[in-house]
Chains A and B, each alone.
Chain A
Amino acid sequence: MVTTVQTDPYKTLGVSKTASQDEIKNAYRSLAKKYHPDLNPGKKSAEVKFKEINSAYEQVGTPEARSKFDRGETEEQQFNDQARARSHAGHQGPFYYQTQEGGGRYSSNFGGESEGSFEDLFRAFRQQQQRSSQGEDQLYRMDVDFKDAVLGAEREITLNTGKKLRVKIPPGIESGKRLRFKGQGMSGVGGSPAGDAYIEVDVKPSPTFKRNGKNIEVEVPIGIGEAVLGGDVEVPTVEGPVMLHVPAGISSGSKLRIRGKGVPSQGERGDEIVSVRIVLPKEGDPELSKLQEAIRNWKNKTENGTGGSHAA
């Protein structure tokens, strides 16, 4: 196992022929640090280089060896290689890493369940591998009516894979929420699991209803008669119109609550908040002239009399 290197040992060590013994030693040490096979396991080039450096150092590393080499006694040197190898610090026998390659006694201390085990690393590695061969996820978008988003619905959609999928829209879903269908994405490579399909819900705004958390807001026009005298008005809800009692003397912008007609959430249901808007008859409408006359009379009475309207 002796390398019969013909190259110039000074060159191998990167020093001049006139370098001091210390310089040679330092050059050798710094190269050995870099190329020691046990610090570069698995790197064959490092081992070759290390042997070259060693061989060069054997040739010029001591004053005796160096003077022999400088005198040109290379033949004797090669002849004596083996003997010298034993007496000198040159590397003999296998490198340490070679004794550990098949799972050596010393490195086995780190195997199994003991401290420093690499199981965590391998687990992460396996997961990574699985992910990379897993089929891609697919994202779909679906428009949902306001009412369907509040009450829930069922739809059928056709996936890119050609497959039809029944989609249950859960009651109370909000815009931007994604429904996940495991394994309905693209198929995986080599038996790996398929990706998932995601359906992103886009709730279409309603001209009538506005969602505010659990509650639904709606605006309802009422006549001046209902506002003054009170009465029942029809109010839309997501489940169809209902009659709502408006108390007498209500102002525009007042809010009334219809319990349990809002958005289902966590087993409960929000309310519908009704905003009242008083609408007067249009100009030219005979209703308006009647109203004007009535109010004019009422005004005259309250201004001329001393609280007469109350006394009657």
Chain B
Amino acid sequence: MRPKNELETVYLYIERRWITPRRPEIRTISELDEEDLARIQLIQELQEDLGVNDDAVPIILNLIDQLHRLRFEVKAKLKRSA
């Protein structure tokens, strides 16, 4: 994140519901947790490095989240049946 407009970016992402921080009000970056920060970084890499546009960002986030969930559940099931 560019330091100048870090908070503005965070507010924009919250408004678009790309991130949903635990706390209802964010006044400083330090109030975000690791998950939020990694997600913000992913969004920025998608946009800046991978050339993803604003419309595609939520779609990609949704699919990535589904994939993570699937991996998590498969691992959990395998552990349980082992």
Contacts and interface: CB of A to CB of B under 8 A. Distances in A.
Interface of A: 28-29, 32-33, 36, 38-39, 41-42, 89, 91-111, 116, 118, 121-122
Interface residues of B, number: 28
Given A38-B64, A41-B67, A99-B34, A29 B73 contact: no
B8 interface: no
B77 interface: yes
A42 B68 CA distance: 10
13 contacts: A32-B50, A33-B50, A36-B45, A41-B67, A95-B42, A96-B41, A100-B65, A105-B35, A106-B35, A107-B65, A110-B69, A111-B69, A122-B77
Interface string B34-48: 110111011011001
Given A36-B50, A107-B66, A109-B65, A96 B42 contact: yes
Contact of B38 (A36, A89, A93, A111): A93
B16 interface: no
Contacts of B35: 96, 99-100, 104-106
Chain B contact residues: over half helix, strand or loop, or mixed?
Answer: helix
Interface string B53-82: 000000001001111111111001100000
A189 to B, nearest CB: 15
Interface string B19-38: 01010000000000011011
Closest 6 CB pairs between A and B? A107-B68, A100-B68, A110-B69, A96-B42, A107-B69, A96-B38
B49 interface: yes
